[in-house]
Amino acid sequence: MNATAQAKAQTPDQAPGAAKPLLEIRGVEKRFSLSGDFLEQLKFKRGRIVREQQFVHAINGVDLDIQRGEALCVVGESGCGKSTVARTVMGLIHPSAGEVRYDGQRIDDLSHKALMPYRRRMQMIFQNPYASLNPRMTIQQTLEEPIRLHHPDWSPKRIKQQVAEVMASVGIAADWGGRYGHEFSGGQRQRIAIARALAVDPEFIVADEPISALDVSIQAQVLNLLMEAQQQRNLTYLFITHDLAVVEHFGTRVAVMYLGRVCEVAPTATLFARPRHPYTQALMSAIPRLEDDRPQHIRLEGEVPTPVNLPSGCVFHGRCPHAFDRCRQEIPQLIVTDDGGQVACHAVEEGRID
Amino acid sequence: MTTTTPQVASRWSRFRGSYLLYSFKRDLVAQLSLLVFIALVAVAVLAPWLAPMNPYDLAQIDIMSSELPPFWIEGSDPAYPVGTDAQGRDMLSTILYGARVSLIIGFGAVALQAMLGVSFGLLAGYLGGRVDAFLMRLADIQLSFSTLMVAIVVGALVKAIFGGATFSAYAVPLLVLIIGLAEWPQYARTVRASVLAERHKEYVDAARVMGFTSRRIMFRHILPNTLSPIFVISTVQVANAIISEAALSFLGLGMPETQPSLGSLIKSGFDYLQSGSWWITLIPGLVLVVLVLVINLLGDWLRDVLNPRLYKG
Amino acid sequence: MALLDVNHLDVRFALRRGDVQALRDISFSLERGERLGIVGESGAGKSVAAFSLLNLIAKPGYIAGGSIQFDGRELTDMSDRALRHVRGHRMSMIFQDPMMTLNPVLSIGEQMVECLKAHRRISTREARAIALRKLEQVQIPSPSARLDQYPHELSGGMRQRVIIAIALLLDPDIIIADEPTTALDVTIQAEIMALLLELCEQHNVGLILITHDLGVVSQVTQRMLVMYAGRVIEQGPTREIINDPQHPYTQGLINALPQMATPGSRLNQIPGSMPSLDNLPTGCAFHPRCGFIDRADGTTRRACIDEVPGFVTSGNCRVACHMVAEMLERERISAEEIR
C-alpha cells in the first residue's frame, strides 16, 4: 500500500472525476439525553413548570468520506466521539442530525428490512474479544448464523464449506468449531470475531479498537491478519483507535477527533510528517517512543471540557496555545490545506501557525 | 499457527469436569437435599402404583376406620401405617396423592410464571423506553395485589359464574393460573435486570450489526445467557408456589377435600387437632415442610454455585 | 548493599487442582533512587511480583521460597505489624485503577489526613498542611480546594495525581507503580509519567514501574526486567535491552511494534500466545514460539526443549536462553583460538 500515491488520488471534497466515496458521513450529530424520561424532565421554575433536558453532545457535526479500498483511521482520546461515529455508521445508534450514505444511498433512516443488503456488505469488529462472542454458542454456530441469515437459500453443505474457508483464512484450526469462546485466549477470540465479520463476504469493515485489549505480541498478529484480509478481499476499513503507532502503520488516511468534532484529516504520511492542528501536534508529541532523545512533549493546559456544556467557537480553544478571540466565537470549518489534508483551525487558515 | 488447542470435550465429559459437579460432590447438604427431593417426587409421581389405596375412590373408603392413629400408637391398624383421617382415608395414600397435587400445581404455576415473566422481562429489558416503563408498572401493580387477593377474586368469580362443581373439577388448572398470574413479576424483574446487563455486551451489538431481528436476538442470544438466575429463582418459586397453594387450600380457596393436596389435608385435619387426632394435620404438614426445605436448600446451593461473583465460569 | 534485594523468589498459588507456580526464581536488586521497569504481557506474573514485594499476595497465593531483603531486613518472615510499617513508611504502591485506592465516600483531604495520622503522631492541622504540600508537589491546580473534594469529582488524570500525592505522603524510599497510566489517554499519560519521573529524581525515591508498554519503560527507567510465563528472561540496563535485545522473546516483542516496520508492510509477529502458568511447556517456556530454535544444532535444541535455561551474562545484561549461551560460548572459543 503506497499511502502517498493513494492520497493523491483522493483529494478531499471530491475533485471532478474522482471516484465516488464508498461511505459519506455528512454533518452527523448525536446527543444523548441525561435527563431520564418525560416526568423527570419537568422542573418547577419561577412559578411555572418547564421541561428541561440536558444532553451529552457525543458528536457535533462530523463530515467524513471513506474511499473504496482505503483504511481510514479515526484517532482521538476517550470521550472524543470516535466510537459513536463507528456505531452510527453501523446503525447501532441513530444520529440526531445529519446523514450517512453508503454507495450513494442514504442508510441511516432505512427500515430493518431495507437495511438488510447493507448489513451484509458492512461488518463490524469490536474491541473486547471477551464480550463480543456469545458465551452460549459454539464457534461453528457463531460463524454459521450470519451466513444462514444472509443466504437463506444456501444448502447446509455450502454453509459449512463457507465456514471452513473463512476459518482457514483467519488461521483458525478446523477442529475449533465445536468449542465455546471462553476456551480461547484473547487473540484467538479476536480471530474468531474477525472470521464472523468476514463470513458474509463484506466489502466494508468498521473496526472499533480491535487490538486495544490485546497484548503487544498478539496485536501484531491481529493487525497482520486485518491487513492480509484487506489485500485478499479488497476491503475498506473504518478503523477506530487511540494508538497513533498503529495508525501510522495501518492507515491510508487519518482523521483526528476532539470533543465530538473532526479537527484534522490527512493522508497518514502527511499527517505524521507535518501535523497542522495544534491538538494533533500535542497528541503526536505525547506518544512514548523507544528512542533515547526525548522530544519535549507539548503540555496542554487543563483538561478536556465536558461534552455536556460545549465551549463556544472552537472546542479546543481553552487548551490551545494559539487561541485568540475568533477561536472563542466562531466554529472553525475544515479547510483544504496545500499538502492534501483538511484542517479545522482559524490559526492555520490565517497562516498564523504553520 | 496456534500452539494451544484445547481438546474437544463431549457434553458428558464437560459436565464431569464442571464446577457444578465438583461443588456438588463436596456439599453434603446439597446431596442430601437432592436425594430427599428426588425420593419425594418419585413417590408422588408413582402414587397410583405405590399407595395402598386410592383416596379418590369412594368405594375404597371405610368410614368405620376413621381417625386411626399411626402404627407407633396404641389402637392402630397395621393396614394403615400412618393412620387414617376423619373420613377413613389411609393417610399414607392421601399424603402421596396430596404431594402429587401440590407438586403439579407448584411446577405448573412456576412454568406459567416463567413463561410470562421471562417474556415480559426480556421485552422490558431489551426494548427499554415506554415498553419497559409500561411492563414494569404493570408488575408493580400486580405485586401490590397479593396472591391471596387474586385467588379470592378469581375463585369467587368462577364459583359464582360456573358453580362450585365446575370449580372443583377445574381446581388444579385454576390454581396454576392464579398462582402463575400472581407471581410472574418476580421473574420479570430478575430477567430484566440480567437482560440490562447483557444488552450492552458486544456480542449483542454484533448480532444487531449482522441484521438479526430483535426477537431472535432476545431469545437466541440474550435469553441463554440469563438462564442461571432464572434457574435459581425457579427453585425458590417452586417452593413458594407450593406454599401458596397450601395456604389457599388451607383457607378453603384451593383444592377441594375430595382431591386433597397437602394444604387441604392440613386444613381437613385442623378441625380434629383438638380431639387428639393430631396426625391428620401434623404428618402432611411435616411432608410439606420437608419438601419446601429441600427445594430451598437446593436453590441456595445453586445460587452459590452459579453466582458469577463467586466463581467465573 | 542494595536497598532492595530479591533473591530466588518463588511464589505459588494453591488451587484445587494443585499448586501453580506463578513466579519462579526471580532475582533482582534496586539501589536507592534507582528506577526499574518490569515488562511483560498479561499473565507473565509482573503484578504478582509487585504484590509479593510488599508481601501482599492474596490467598491462595503464598511465597514458597527465596528472600526479599529491604534495607538489610528480611520481609518474607517479618511480622504483620512490622510489615505494615514498611508498607506505609518505606514502600508505597500506585495501582492502575485509582478507585482501588481511593475511598469514594471520604474527601481527598480526609483520606490523606487519616493516612498520615495512622503513621505519625501529628495534629490534624499539621497533617492537612503536609497533605496540601504533597498536592502542590503533584502540580494539581488549586490544591487547597481539592482537599475537600471527593474522588468522583476529579477526572482520571487528577485522580492519578492524587494517588501519587498519597503514595508520597510518608516520604517512602520506593514507589511500586502497577500499570499507573494504562487507563489514561496518551496526553495525560505523558504528563503523569513526566511528573512521576520528576518527583522520583527530586526526592531520590526508587521506582519499580510495572507495565506492558515498552515506550514508557524506555523513557522512565534505568534498568529493566523482561518477564515471560512467571520467569525473568532478560534483565539489564534499559537502554541496552531496548537497543540490542538478546533474548528471542524480547527481540520479538520489540520487533512486533508497528513503529519497527515500514508503514503498510507486514509486522514481525511472534507466533502463538503465552502459555498459561498451569500448563507450561517443558524446558524453556518460550521454545514453542521461539524463532531461534530452528537455527539451533541438535544439543542446544534438545536443551531448549528439556532444560530450563539459566542466566548467562552478555555485556551488562543477563539472559536466560540456551541459544544465547551457545553463541557466547562459540565467541569465547573463537576468541581463544585467535589468541
At B45-71, the pLDDT tens digits run 888 888 777 877 777 777 777 777 777
C contact chains, 3+ CB pairs < 8 A: A, B
pLDDT tens by residue, C239-260? 999 999 999 999 999 999 988 8
Put simply, the answer to whether C219 touches A185 (Cβ < 8 Å) is no
Alpha-carbon span C317 to C228, nearest angstrom: 16
The whole-angstrom separation of Cα C166 and Cα C177 is 13
Q: Please indicate if any CB of chain C lies within 8 Å of the CB of B2.
A: yes
- A276/A155 Cα distance (integer angstroms): 55
- Best of B1, B2, B3 to substitute, by most chain C Cβ atoms within 10 angstroms, is B3
pLDDT tens track for C290-319: 888 877 778 888 888 899 999 999 889 999
How much is the pLDDT for A6?
Answer: 42
> Three cell numbers at C35?
528506577
Q: Is B3 on the interface with C (CB under 8 A)?
A: yes
Section C172-201 average pLDDT: 88
C-alpha B200/C-alpha C108 separation (Å) is: 33
Residues 6 or more apart whose Cβ sits within 8 Å of residue C208: C30, C36, C37, C38, C50, C53, C174, C175, C176, C177
Name the 3-class secondary structure at C175: strand
- For chain A, list residues with pLDDT below 70: 1-18, 37-39, 292-296
Residues of B in contact with A133 (CB under 8 A): 203, 206
Cβ contact (<8 Å) for C186 and A1? no
**Beta bridge partner(s), residue C173:** none
For chain B, the chains sharing at least 3 beta-carbon pairs closer than 8 angstroms are A, C
The number of beta carbons lying within 10 Å of the beta carbon of residue B26 is 10
By three-state DSSP, how is residue C285 classified?
coil
Give residue B304's pLDDT. Answer: 80
| The predicted structure's pLDDT at residue B14 | 67
Q: Which amino acid is at A129?
A: P
Distance CA C256, CA A219 (A): 8
Residues 237-296 of A with CB under 8 A from B: none
- pLDDT tens-place string over residues B272-296: 777 777 888 888 889 999 999 999 9
pLDDT of residue B91: 82
Residue B17: its pLDDT value, please? Answer: 65
Q: Looking at residue B307, what is its pLDDT?
A: 64
Task: Please answer yes or no on whether B3 and C273 come within 8 Å at the CB atom.
Answer: yes
Strand partners, C62: C12
Partners of residue B4 in chain C, C-beta under 8 Å: 272-273, 275-276, 279
Q: Tell me what pLDDT residue B2 has.
A: 39
CB distance B22–C288 less than 8 Å? no
**What distance in Å separates the CA atoms of residue B225 and residue C154, rounded to the nearest whole number?**
36
Contacts of C154 in chain A (CB under 8 A): none
Average pLDDT, chain B: 82
Mean pLDDT of C29-43: 91
CB contact under 8 A, A173 and B1: yes
CB contact at 8 A, A284 and A242: no
Backbone phi, psi, residue A200, to 5°: -100, 20
- Find the mean pLDDT for residues B144-159: 81
Quote the ipTM score.
0.84
Q: What is the mean pLDDT of chain C?
A: 89
What pLDDT shows up at residue B79?
74
What is the distance between the alpha carbons of residues B116 and A342, in angstroms, rounded to a whole number? 56
Cis peptide before A129 (omega within 30 of 0): no
Among B4, B18, B21, the strongest candidate for a mutation testing the C interface, having the largest count of C CBs within 10 A, is: B4
Write down the pLDDT at residue B10. 62
The three cell numbers locating residue B175: 390454581
Residue of chain B whose Cα is closest to the Cα of A177: B8
Share of chain B above pLDDT 70, in %: 91
Confidence (pLDDT) at C129:
93
Angle between the N-to-C axes of helices C124-137 and C156-168, in degrees from 0 to 180, rounded to the nearest 10: 120
Banded pLDDT at C86 (limits 50, 70, 90)? confident
User: Which pLDDT does position A119 carry in this prediction?
Assistant: 92
Strand A23-33 with A97-102, pairing: antiparallel
Q: Beta strands of B65-176 (E only): which ranges?
A: none
What pLDDT is stored for residue C242 in this prediction? 93
**Chain-chain contact of B4 with C273 (C-beta, under 8 angstroms):** yes
Average pLDDT over residues B239-259: 84
Q: How far is CA C200 from CA A289, C5, C24, C83, in A?
A: 20, 19, 29, 23
User: Is pLDDT at C234 greater than 80 in this prediction?
Assistant: yes
Give A225→chain B minimum CA distance, Å: 12
Q: What is the pLDDT of residue A84?
A: 93
Nearest beta carbon to residue A179 from set B8, B205, B211 = B8
**How many C-beta atoms lie closer than 10 Å to residue A351's C-beta?**
7
**pLDDT for res A256:** 95
User: Per CB distance under 8 Å, which residues of C are interface residues toward A?
Assistant: 41-42, 141, 155, 157-158, 185-191, 193-194, 212-216, 218-219, 239, 242, 252-254, 256-259, 261, 263-264, 266-271, 273-274
Query: In which band, very low, low, confident or very high, does the pLDDT at B188 lie, cut at 50, 70 and 90?
Result: very high
CB C225 within 8 A of CB C193: no
Give residue-wise pLDDT tens across range C105-136: 999 999 999 889 888 889 999 999 999 999 99
Q: What is the pLDDT of residue A295?
A: 59
Q: How far is B17 from chain C (nearest CA, A)?
A: 11
| Rounded-to-integer distance, Cα A233 and Cα C296, Å | 38
Write the CA distances from B37 to B236, C147, C304, integer angstroms. 14, 60, 57
pLDDT in tens, B80-96: 777 777 777 888 888 88
Q: A48-51 and A204-208: which strand pairing?
A: unpaired
Per-residue DSSP letter, B224: G
What is the rounded distance in angstroms from the CA atom of residue B293 to the CA atom of residue B289? 6
- C69 C-beta neighbours (distance < 10 Å), count: 17
More confidently predicted of A38 and C24: C24
- Comparing alpha-carbon positions, the chain C residue that sits nearest to A230 is C264
Q: Which residues pair with residue A264 across a beta bridge? A: A256, A343
Q: Indicate if the pLDDT at residue B171 is higher than 60.
A: yes
